[in-house]
Structure 1
């Protein structure tokens, strides 16, 4: 069965309400075919990051940062640290997605909650204490940053696809090496690399995905 046939079979009546969003989700691919002669322009890069920043975020802490790299020499070094994944250089832009391991945005965010009238000052302080308390556990704080930043990374992929670009995420790279190369602070955990750039054409047909009947568990596992 082709990927298009599989998509057609998944269509249901309410897909017509947001057809572009459904189409973007179902047709997005992690591509490796980039146009090495074209470069991602600043306006598009900023628009993609703006879309990333609209991702869901627990407590709205937005514990993410993005480092975009377009310098050829630096991209060559990233390719080496990513075990020879040449499509990073071919894409022309690499984005390192980082997650916070400290609640550095908490004061500002919870003040915004109070200022917006979503909760009073006392409730905002109590909720902030709960959110900040998660970081008392080093692993929980790290996981919090990774999970939230991963949601933002998916927005990058969907935004790129909607704009006719190709993008592919990678977790297979020397995390410490890339962080050092890009001067990332020690309290920012590298979550993934994303190669993004103008498309070089069609990609191979999507490999099979696990069936819903196999992965959907109802009421319990």
Structure 2
């Protein structure tokens, strides 16, 4: 994809979604960190249902560390891998208290040292909570980057680094939100909605789905 195409690609996504936001409900950097840890192999909607009950009871490192794994599991048991996630969230909360004064760190190295936090989670927190120009590559961003020709890569790190290199600077802050939402609602895995896609002219996917033919009207025969 040429630089001109990439610029138009993001311009159109911005026009369609002028103020993109994370779909994980949160009010603080810590709530966001917990929500992103819980969202691994789970839907944002499912996480929001769980955290709507959890956060009014415990939404700080001190409260979650005191709650412990067993009680936390009762709140998040509807989410996949909830036992491991409860263990990670409690351990992460204790480390924040012991090493960071209860605050979420603003460095990638410190974030990735926390239990349950990988590169993608760190990128989300750095971008959404602290305004860093990072790009979190999940399955949606990976698919869009490869399918459209925007930033092809064999793994998520290669796609991330390529996106950071080729995304026009004015779009970097919200780039991963636009790509996630585009992949989630338009550039679907099984059957992309190409006829209604705002970037179909810039997209280099060779097998675009055609528009559905109009339904034939049945003629009623009088009796």
TM-score after normalising by structure 1 = 0.24
Q: Which has the larger radius of gyration?
A: 2
Higher relative contact order (CA 8 A, sep 6+): 1
The structure in which a higher percent of residues are strand is 1
TM-score after normalising by structure 2 = 0.24
